[in-house]
Amino acid sequence: MRRSALLALPLLLLVSACDDYTAPSLYQATTPECKTWTEGSRFALPRGISVYATPPVTLKEGGTELALIFTLPVGTQASFTRLSFLLEEPKQAPFAEAKILTIYQRGVSRKAEMVDVIDTLPIMFSAVGSSAETQWRLRLQLPRQLPQRFDLSMPDMLVAGKRYPVRTFTYRYFPERQAYGMCS
């Protein structure tokens, strides 16, 4: 009995070390005006997992797109608590859902490979074993009519059985650039 307790001690210490995670700021905007153009925003999750949001791109044919890049170190997995990315004006109910256009995964040390195009998010993202890190890239389409300022509300993520909130990314229209951009 005593021997099994001694063997379990290192395992318990390893598990408790994983709980040292402190979430970065959960809201991207640092000022009420959100006047500063930002080229992108990275949010760290436990176990080295991260999500990076890009600034939106205005398309010539109309419409706006942005990308979310989830990076997972080898041996990790993450899943969503909901399968939608909601758009909302600050402190208001969601006004739309971002449409997922494409999803692909690639090991960062390999050439990108398209995965099957699917209509909904996969239930779980997993890292591939042949690369130190795996990227899952989601290209999202936003509605044609957007308010002057809006937030992209991310679903919480499940990592190693625990639920973690993910940053709300903030965007606004910049008249001097005549485009929407990410702001802080």
Domain residue ranges of the chain, discontinuous segments joined by +:
37-183
Task: Please give the Cα distance from 152 to 98 (Å, whole number).
Answer: 8
pLDDT in tens, the chain (184 residues): 444 444 444 444 444 445 689 888 899 988 888 999 999 999 999 999 999 999 999 888 888 999 999 999 999 999 999 989 999 998 899 999 999 888 888 888 766 555 545 556 667 888 877 789 988 899 999 998 999 999 999 999 999 999 999 999 999 999 999 999 999 9
Burial of 88 (0-12, 13-18, 19+ CB in 10 A): middle
Task: Please give the Cα distance from 56 to 54 (Å, whole number).
Answer: 6
Using alpha carbons, select from 55, 28, 59, 61 the residue that is nearest to residue 43: 28
DSSP secondary structure letter of residue 46: G
Can you name the residues that pair with 139 across neighbouring β-strands? 67, 102
Domain 37-183 has CATH 2.60.40: yes
pTM: 0.83
Task: Please give the Cα distance from 77 to 35 (Å, whole number).
Answer: 35
